[in-house]
Amino acid sequence: MRITLLASLLLLCMGISPARAVLHITRDHGGYVEEYKAKYERIRDSHDRVIIDGICNSACTLVLGIVPLNKICVTPRASLGFHQAYYDKAFTFGIKVTSTEGTSELMSYYPDAVKDWIRRNGGLTTEMKKIKNGAELWKIVDPCPEEW
């Protein structure tokens, strides 16, 4: 016990800490905005990293506005998809009805680089607009370093 405590103190003094957890996004088509906000706020507050390694569409993209961008990276398989917000279909008889308020809320979370990309691509519409891996995506999120 004494050796473990001493070793822990030594590591702490040296600035070595255990590796942080990583959220690995591979196939996320979105969902309820409030659930994503809560999830990403927990990740932000715990200083965890996020690797986007596949599809991140709809509410999933809120990660870009809630988790600091220096804690997020993208792999060559990454893609981001943006569209207008919808009301819950349970309240609209199964019909997709766009929400102006919800869309404004989504936009309020996005960093300027995302807002600029959305504007350059015609704004948010009912159709999914995607950014795939490459220079356009890297203007928003850095590619993952090999150690991530």
Q: Is the pLDDT of residue 35 over 60?
A: yes
Q: Apex CA 137: angle with CA 136 and CA 142, to 5°?
A: 125
CA torsion 112-116-122-123 (nearest 10°) is 0
pLDDT of residue 147: 63
HEC-encoded secondary structure of 14-35: CCCCCCCCEEEEEEECCCCHHH
pTM of the model: 0.82
* pLDDT (average), residues 70-88: 95
Side-chain-side CA neighbours of residue 15 (13 Å):
0
pLDDT tens digit string along 89-145?
888 888 889 999 999 999 999 999 999 999 999 999 999 999 999 999 999 999 998
**Whole-angstrom Cα distance, residue 123 to residue 81?**
12
pLDDT tens digit string along 2-19?
444 444 444 444 444 444
